[in-house]
Every structure is written in structure tokens, then in C-alpha cells.
């Protein structure tokens, strides 16, 4: 056994493309999926733009009995899991049930479903609350539903670490594979574009109030003033290399390294933890900074956070020492879905030899970043994906070609 | 290099019936119950009006008004417990590289109580579905995403290592500690502040459990409402609480002369892949989790001295679990005391797994197996030794604790003395 964990299947639900093919076509060519919110009337809110997943009709993908008991994020996750398994050439019924696990991340659970039931509770009364409220909104629902739909009885888990969680889930999946489970479905899909989720996100104080789709989310730009939120993410199939070889599966790449840290207390004056997370991921993979071909940045679009991310990248890679990109400028920030979607983009970059662009951004010169603002053709063997969560979560995941 | 082993060196519990480890142990070792009619709000319109509430005043525990405002009750409980566990362990975190200290907090339903309250406000008691952002509290985002809980704990103890909330429904409390143990074993951390917290006693939670009749309607007799393994059981009693542990790598703990409560010797989680709320009666997946946890601990079923059961008191759970014990432990299942502390402290969803780990470790410490309260007429299909009503004095070197939850998650953990014979 080589002990390697590889990715063999991708299932994508992104604001700029439903399905891997659409997502990648649009991402490499810089096509954004950000627009005015359509899922509710945003007129009276100070932020009105979002990245919504286009063209998803749940009825086309899922049996009718699942519809009343699932939030949008679960429907997207079940469909994306189907696509990822299909992409990997895995038929779960042919694999021993205990040999397959499910590890996902969530940030706000099935929040839209939860709003519906809170609304029923407070407008009509407790007896109008759905029986499905007992599980449809909670954070564990996507792992549970994916395991049931696909008969997966192996180790399963759910992590919540805001936007960093999606990478933490992939790392936990790798842990389970190292401990002997041959296949783990992982990644994350988040969606809370409902009035209640919107109000909670507004309270976080980091949403852009711009109404101009190409000026609203500008990480590393002098005009950075918050982000556009989005929905979606990616579900991935992870396997031991041994299992992938036995099946003759196409391997996108290896999950080679991971590091996670937490920022110091806000009043401490100590350096944020991102640099350390990157160093841990590199050390875990046995990779030197010079071997990294591209960094998929967290790209918060809050000046203080952009500055900190740029400083961490400079400290590890040197000034303009590595290509940096933020395709999430085309999708908005997807919370726990962001890391897995960037992971998918990183793996597709390796396949295509193309780094997708960061759109609309004119980088602050002082950040000294080699920000990829136009599609760049270059061999990609090793990519670093970063994600930071509100409160101080830092995760770094390194993938490389095998 | 020998494998890194993980031990518990500090404990704090805030459970119904009393704040602190001593009050908790006093309650459960004496078979008293902390279930009562709900006092937090007017529950008169609900089917089930019983709960296990904690009398907890965050100010008394040193939380500032600002901290109290920005934290959901479950976070307040977790932070209080984390500080208590660190005190109990005697560890000097100031002498430790903060990047080597991690945090995991298990929680099934996050900031439910705050979300319920705040929704009422921003929706003007349900009049608006396009809810009004101008009425939102500034820290509403902390309630949207419950990783605010583990962030608060990290700030409280100055931890900068790996940090996450583990949210696997009602097995969160075991899975959080299991996750933390894995991080220490693989070398990602030397110390973990790990546990879980839930404070779900709010109208929305009651309403959804009413809807599926999961909670007991025994409103006329709240003190005996939670009846695991009894023939008259008819649902669980909703609870709240937290338990947090200081976990350390064994040699590190020994080197600083720490009191070692127990080793987290084995842990596993499996899924039933069957139903979000239903259980097959054979308990096959929980049995598999138990088998793997014993295997990881390199122990035989015969070495288990006590089984701390999930024992929620629903019809299906107690049978499912009884089958799982027989399937995994064979004859030894009949010879081992099994008890459910949910009979006394209720079911605090994602928190209870950690509270039950605390009960298991305290059973080892005191050589006393806590009882199953309210067990007068056993269900004929539940035919093991459930330690009815009264605690039992018994040398206890190794405990199996299990959890089962919505989503189909089944978890098992083996706690043992580190100096045990390893087969």
C-alpha cells in the first residue's frame, strides 16, 4: 500500500455551472455566475447580489419522496454525490457497505428549510412544524442522506468550521482512508440564500453592498469591500490509491498535504495562523514552496484579511513567488462549499494545464502577489487550496498530480 | 517509534441537576433524576412538556455581559466547561505552544435556542417571512454557523491548533472526542480541549420532536419520565448540557505528573445507511462500531466491565442497542452491567455523548456503576443487566460507551486504564 489518498470523482454544483463540464468551461474562461438574488425579493436588504446555482430542478435528479424532507443544500449535495460517483465509475451497490464512508462539512445546515419551520411555528403554532424539521435542517443531514441513498456504512462524520470546514472534511476523509476505509465521499455543499440566512449573513458585516456584478467582490483590490455570498460547492470521491488502481479509475490527483490552525485571540497582537497552516500542509506533503504551481486563495475581500493572506503568501513563497488565483470571484463565497469547489478547480487545472482567472480585480501593488487575472496556460502539478472561516479558522490543502 | 496514546487528564461537566463534576456524580451515583416540567418558557401547548434543564447562570461563572450577548447558551456552557476542565487537569497552557493545542466541540443543533428567539424578533412573531434585518442582533452570524462555539473555546484557553465543531447529530459527543483523539495520535496536536455542548430546549425543538413523537408525553410525572429499557418507556426526555475534557498524549501527561482519568483506547463510528430517524432492530452497524473500537483498543469483549448505553428510552432505540451489545460482545453482554444515565439527566442530543464519557470515566474512578433510574418493569426484549435504580460498587477498569443518532450514525468508544494488559 502506498498510503496515498487520491481523488477519482468530482460532482460540482456551482453558481457558474451545474456539473463539472459547465463549471470548468465557465471558470477557465472567466464567466461569472453572480447576479441579483432571485430566490427571494432582495429589494429591501442592503445587499442584493449572490451566486445562485443555475438550472437545478430537484425533481429531475431525486425521487419525489425525498423532496418534502430535504433542504436545497441537501438536494444539491445528493445530486452532486451521484455525479461524483458516476464520474469515478463507482457503483456503490458493488462495494461492501462498510468500505465506504461519507464525511461532509456544513456551515449553516438546511437553513432555508429551518426558516420555513420557524415561520410555521411562530405564525401558526407548534403543531404546524414538520416532522422532517427533526433532521432536515441539522448540520449532519447531508452525510446522513448521502450514506442512505448510496448504502454507505463506513466511518462518517460532519465538521463545521465556517468557510474552512470544506477542507477539514476532505482531510478527515483522508484520515479515514489511511485508517483502512477504501472509499470516502467528501466535500461540502452549502446554501442559505433565503431571507433568514441573508439577515444572518448581513449581521456578519462582511457582505458587499455593491449592486454592480463586476464590482461587488474584489479580493486583493484597493476597492475590496466585502464579498458576495453564494451557494453550492463540490462533492468528491476520495479513495486509497490502491483501491483506485484496482478499479482502473481515472485519478485527478493526490491529497498530498493538509494543515489547520486557528488565529490567536483578537487582542493578542500575534500573527494570524494562516502562514503556519500553509507551512504545515507543505511539510505534511514533503513539498518545498518552489514546487507549488498555484495557490487558490481564500480571498476574503476584506482589506485587513486580504493583507494578512498576501503577507502569509509572501512569507512562504516570497514576493510574487507563486501564481495566485481566486475563481470564487465568479461564484461568490460558498461557505463550507468553497474549499471543495476550489479543490475541484485545482484538480481540473492540473488536467487542463490552465490556471483559471481571478475576474474583475486589479491587485493592490503593495501585496506583491502574482495574481492570475487572465486565464494562464501552464503545467500544474501541485496546487495549494486555502480557506479561512469567520472567527479564525485556517485550513490549507495541497494536491498534486500522481 | 511507538504509537502515540491519548489520555483524559481533565474533566468538567455541566449537566441537569447541578453544575460541576461533583454535583453530576452525586446525582447519577445516587440514582436521582433531574427531569422536570419545562420552566424556560410556557410549554403548555406542547405534547411533551418535560425536560432536563440546568440551573446555570453564566455571570456566576465569570462570563462578561458582552460574552453572554454574543454566545448562545450552548457556547456559554462549553466555554465554562472548557475553563473548568483546564483547571481540573492542572495543565499550564501558557507553557505550551498554542499551535499544539486544538479544540473540538460536538453539537447536534448548534445555536438553536438563539435562532428560535431571534427568528421571532426579525419575523415580528411570524408576521414577516421577508424578515427584517434592522431588528437583527449584531452577532447573529455566530448563531448561523455554530463553529463560533469552538472559536469561543479556543479564545478562552488560547488554543491555536486544529479547531472544529463536529456535528453528527446525537453521536456528536462521542465523535468529537474521537476526532480529538485521532488528532493527537497522528501528531497534529499534543493537547486537545474536546467535548460537546447542546442547549436545545426551545419551542422549535419541542415542536419537531412532538411531530415525530420521539419525546415522552409523560407530563404528569416528570421526575420518572425517562425510562430506558423499561416496558413502559414511551420516548426520551429532552435535556441540555456539556462535558469538556483535556486530552493529552500519554507520555506528555505522565511527564508532567498529571492525574490520568482514562485512556481513550478505541473509537469507531459507522452508519446504518437505512433511515434518517429509524433503526433496524438487529443493531448490526452499532455492533460493527463496537467491534472496531475494541479492535483499536486491542481488547477482548471480556475486558469490558461496564457498558454505558445510549439508552434514550424510545421503543426502537433500546431494543436496537440491546441487539448490538449481544451481537458484538456475545455471552459477555449478559454478564456486564449496562446502564443509561439518560434516565436521570435526559437526552442532551449532541452533548450527551461527552457527558456519558464523563460518567464512564467517573465510574472507573469511583469503582461504582451508575444505575438506570425508573427501571421497574423491564421490557422482555431488553434482557440484559441494566443496573436498575441503585448504583453498584464494582471495580471498573474498562468501559464501553455508545451513541446512536438521527442520520443513522452509530458510535462506540472504549475507555480504559492505560496500564491495562494489551492483548
Residues 276-305 of B with CB under 8 A from A: 276-277, 285, 288
Stretch B18-32: mean pLDDT, rounded? 97
- The domain total for chain A is 2
Claim to verify: residue A138 and residue A189 sit in the same structural domain: yes
- Please report whether residue A73 resides in a domain: yes
Is residue A188 assigned to a domain? yes
Its ipTM equals 0.98
pLDDT band with cut points at 50, 70 and 90 for residue A266: confident
What gap in Å lies between CA A134 and CA A114, rounded to an integer? 10
Half-sphere exposure of B228 (CA within 13 A, CB side): 31
From the candidates B310, B332, B366, B382, give the one annotated as an active-site residue: B310
Would you call A323 exposed, middle or buried from its count of C-beta atoms within 10 A (0-12, 13-18, 19+)? Answer: buried
Average model confidence (pLDDT) across chain B: 97
B6-111+146-416, CATH topology level: Peroxisomal Thiolase; Chain A, domain 1 (3.40.47)
Q: Are the beta carbons of A147 and B407 separated by less than 8 Å?
A: yes
- Return the domain boundaries, chain B: 6-111+146-416
Please tell me which of the candidates A109, A203, A262 has its beta carbon nearest to residue B141. A203
Residue A243: the pLDDT is 96
Q: Between these two residues, B420 and B356, which has the higher pLDDT value?
A: B356
Q: Is B382 a catalytic residue?
A: no
Q: Are residues A324 and A215 in the same domain?
A: no
Identify the pLDDT of residue B421: 66
CA angle A50–A53–A57, rounded 5-degree value: 140
B26 to chain A nearest CA, in Å? Answer: 33
Q: Which of B127, B164, B268 sits opposite A159 (nearest CB)?
A: B164
Q: Do B407 and A140 touch (CB under 8 A)?
A: yes
- In chain B, residues with a C-beta closer than 8 Å to the C-beta of A392 are 151, 154, 163
Pair (A264, A210) in one structural domain: no
Q: Tell me, yes or no, whether A126 and A267 share the same domain.
A: no
Return the pLDDT at A167.
Answer: 98
Give the residue among A24, A27, A84, A10 at the shortest CA–CA distance from A372: A27
B366 is catalytic: no
Q: What CATH number did the domain enclosing A346 receive? A: 3.40.47.10
Q: Tell which of B78, B280, B407 to mutate to test the A interface (max A CBs under 10 Å).
A: B407
In a domain, A253, yes or no: no
> Of A191, A219, A247, which residue constitutes the final position of a domain?
A247
- Report the pLDDT value the prediction gives residue A2, as an integer from 0 to 100: 60
Residues A133 and A208 in one domain: yes
B347 is catalytic: yes
Whether A252 is in a domain gets the answer no
Q: In terms of domains, do A263 and A166 share one?
A: no
Q: Quote the domain boundaries for residue A344.
A: 258-400
Whether A264 and A285 map to the same domain: the answer is yes
A214 in the same domain as A281: no
Q: Are residues A16 and A67 in the same domain?
A: yes
Q: What is the pLDDT of residue B420?
A: 80
Which tens digits make up the pLDDT trace of B320-365?
999 999 999 999 999 999 999 999 999 999 999 999 999 999 999 9
Contact A118 B115 (CB under 8 A): yes
Residues A283 and A222 in one domain: no
Q: Which residue of A has its CA nearest to B182?
A: A175
Cα angle B198-A175-A19, degrees, rounded to a multiple of 5: 85
pLDDT at res. A1: 44
- Convert the pLDDT of each residue in A185-199 to its tens digit: 999 999 999 999 999
Dist. CA B416–CA B410, nearest whole Å: 20
pLDDT, averaged across chain A: 97
Q: Which residue of A has its CA nearest to B180?
A: A172
Mean of the pLDDT values across residues B362-379?
98
Q: Is the pLDDT of residue B377 over 50?
A: yes
Convert the pLDDT of each residue in A5-33 to its tens digit: 999 999 999 999 999 999 999 999 999 99
Q: Which of these, B291, B288, B309, lies nearest to B299 by C-alpha position?
A: B291
Query: Is the model's pLDDT at A105 over the cut of 60?
Result: yes
**The predicted structure's pLDDT at residue B422:** 67
**Are A345 and A383 a contacting pair, CB within 8 Å?**
no
Residue B1 has pLDDT above 60, yes or no: no
Amino acid at each position: 500500500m502506498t498510503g496515498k489518498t487520491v481523488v477519482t470523482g468530482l460532482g460540482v454544483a456551482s453558481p457558474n455551472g451545474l456539473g463539472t463540464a459547465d463549471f470548468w468551461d465557465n471558470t477557465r474562461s472567466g464567466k461569472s455566475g453572480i447576479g441579483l438574488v432571485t430566490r427571494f425579493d432582495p429589494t429591501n436588504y442592503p445587499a442584493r447580489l449572490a451566486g445562485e446555482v443555475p438550472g437545478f430542478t430537484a425533481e429531475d435528479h431525486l425521487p419525489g419522496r425525498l423532496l418534502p424532507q430535504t433542504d436545497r443544500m441537501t438536494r444539491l449535495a445528493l445530486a452532486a454525490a451521484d455525479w461524483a460517483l458516476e464520474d469515478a465509475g463507482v457503483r456503490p451497490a458493488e462495494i461492501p457497505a462498510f468500505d465506504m464512508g461519507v464525511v461532509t462539512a456544513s456551515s449553516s445546515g438546511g437553513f432555508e428549510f429551518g426558516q420555513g419551520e420557524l415561520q410555521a411555528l411562530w405564525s401558526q403554532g407548534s403543531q404546524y412544524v414538520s416532522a422532517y424539521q427533526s433532521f432536515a435542517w441539522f448540520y449532519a443531514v447531508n452525510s446522513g442522506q448521502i450514506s442512505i441513498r448510496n448504502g454507505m456504512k463506513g466511518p462518517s462524520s460532519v465538521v463545521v468550521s465556517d468557510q474552512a470546514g470544506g477542507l477539514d472534511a476532505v482531510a478527515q476523509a483522508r484520515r479515514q482512508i489511511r485508517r483502512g476505509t477504501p472509499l470516502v465521499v467528501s466535500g461540502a455543499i452549502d446554501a442559505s440564500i433565503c431571507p433568514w440566512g441573508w439577515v444572518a449573513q448581513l449581521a456578519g458585516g462582511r457582505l458587499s453592498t455593491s449592486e454592480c456584478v463586476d464590482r461587488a467582490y474584489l479580493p486583493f483590490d484597493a476597492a475590496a469591500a466585502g464579498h458576495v455570498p453564494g451557494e453550492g460547492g463540490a462533492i468528491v470521491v476520495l479513495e486509497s490509491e490502491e483501491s483506485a488502481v484496482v478499479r482502473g479509475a481515472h485519478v485527478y490527483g493526490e491529497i498530498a498535504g493538509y494543515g489547520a490552525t486557528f488565529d490567536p485571540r483578537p487582542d493578542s497582537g500575534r500573527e494570524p495562523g494562516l502562514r503556519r497552516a500553509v507551512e504545515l500542509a507543505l511539510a505534511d506533503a514533503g513539498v518545498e514552496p518552489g514546487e507549488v504551481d498555484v495557490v487558490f486563495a481564500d480571498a476574503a475581500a476584506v482589506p485587513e484579511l486580504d493583507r494578512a493572506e498576501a503577507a502569509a503568501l509572501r512569507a512562504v513563497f516570497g514576493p510574487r513567488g507563486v501564481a495566485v488565483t481566486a475563481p470564487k470571484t465568479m461564484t461568490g463565497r460558498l461557505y463550507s462549499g468553497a474549499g471543495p469547489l476550489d479543490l475541484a478547480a485545482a484538480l481540473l487545472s492540473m488536467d487542463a494545464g490552465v490556471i483559471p482567472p481571478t475576474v474583475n480585480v486589479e491587485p493592490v501593488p503593495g501585496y506583491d502577489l502574482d495574481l492570475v487575472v487572465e486565464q494562464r496556460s501552464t503545467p500544474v502539478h501541485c496546487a495549494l487550496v486555502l480557506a479561512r472561516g469567520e472567527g479564525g479558522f485556517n485550513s490549507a490543502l495541497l494536491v498534486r498530480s500522481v | 517509534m511507538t504509537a502515540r496514546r491519548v489520555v483524559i487528564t481533565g474533566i468538567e461537566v455541566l449537566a441537569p441537576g447541578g453544575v460541576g463534576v461533583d454535583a453530576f456524580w452525586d446525582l447519577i451515583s445516587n440514582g436521582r433524576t433531574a427531569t422536570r416540567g419545562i420552566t424556560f418558557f410556557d410549554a403548555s401547548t406542547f405534547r411533551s412538556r418535560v425536560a432536563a434543564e440546568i440551573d446555570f447562570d453564566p455571570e456566576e461563572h465569570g462570563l462578561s455581559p458582552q460574552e453572554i450577548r454574543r454566545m448562545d447558551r450552548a457556547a456559554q456552557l462549553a466555554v465554562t466547561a472548557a475553563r473548568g476542565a483546564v483547571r481540573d487537569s492542572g495543565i499550564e497552557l501558557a507553557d505550551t505552544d498554542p499551535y499544539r493545542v486544538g479544540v473540538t466541540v460536538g453539537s447536534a443543533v448548534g445555536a438553536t435556542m438563539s435562532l428560535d428567539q431571534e427568528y421571532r424578533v426579525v419575523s415580528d412573531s411570524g408576521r414577516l417571512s421577508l424578515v427584517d434585518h434592522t431588528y437583527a442582533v449584531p452577532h447573529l452570524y455566530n448563531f448561523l454557523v455554530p463553529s463560533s462555539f469552538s472559536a469561543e473555546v479556543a479564545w478562552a484557553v488560547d488554543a491555536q491548533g486544529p479547531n472544529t465543531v463536529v456535528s453528527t447529530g446525537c453521536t456528536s459527543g462521542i465523535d468529537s472526542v474521537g476526532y480529538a483523539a485521532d488528532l493527537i495520535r497522528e501528531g497534529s496536536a499534543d493537547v486537545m480541549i474536546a467535548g460537546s455542548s447542546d442547549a436545545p430546549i426551545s419551542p422549535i425543538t419541542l415542536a419537531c420532536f412532538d411531530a415525530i413523537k420521539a419525546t415522552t408525553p409523560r407530563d404528569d410525572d416528570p421526575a420518572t419520565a425517562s425510562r430506558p429499557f423499561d416496558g413502559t418507556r414511551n420516548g426520551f426526555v429532552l435535556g441540555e448540557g456539556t462535558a469538556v475534557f483535556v486530552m493529552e498524549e500519554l507520555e506528555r501527561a505522565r511527564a508532567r505528573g498529571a492525574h490520568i482519568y482514562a485512556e481513550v483506547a478505541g473509537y469507531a463510528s459507522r452508519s446504518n445507511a437505512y433511515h434518517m430517524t429509524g433503526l433496524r432492530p438487529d443493531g448490526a452497524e452499532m455492533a460493527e462500531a463496537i467491534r472496531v473500537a475494541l479492535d483499536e483498543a486491542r481488547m477482548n469483549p471480556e475486558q469490558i466491565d461496564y457498558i454505558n448505553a445510549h439508552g434514550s428510552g424510545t421503543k426502537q432505540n433500546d431494543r436496537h442497542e440491546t441487539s448490538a451489545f449481544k451481537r458484538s460482545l456475545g455471552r459477555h453482554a449478559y454478564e456486564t452491567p449496562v446502564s443509561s444515565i439518560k434516565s436521570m439527566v435526559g437526552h442532551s442530543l449532541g452533548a450527551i455523548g461527552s457527558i456519558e464519557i464523563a460518567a464512564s470515566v467517573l465510574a472507573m474512578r469511583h469503582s461504582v456503576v451508575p444505575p438506570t433510574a425508573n427501571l421497574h418493569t423491564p421490557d422482555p426484549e431488553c434482557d440484559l443487566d441494566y443496573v436498575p435504580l441503585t448504583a453498584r460498587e464494582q471495580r471498573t477498569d474498562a468501559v464501553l460507551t455508545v451513541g446512536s443518532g438521527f442520520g443513522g450514525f452509530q458510535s462506540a468508544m472504549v475507555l480504559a486504564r492505560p496500564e491495562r494488559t494489551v492483548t
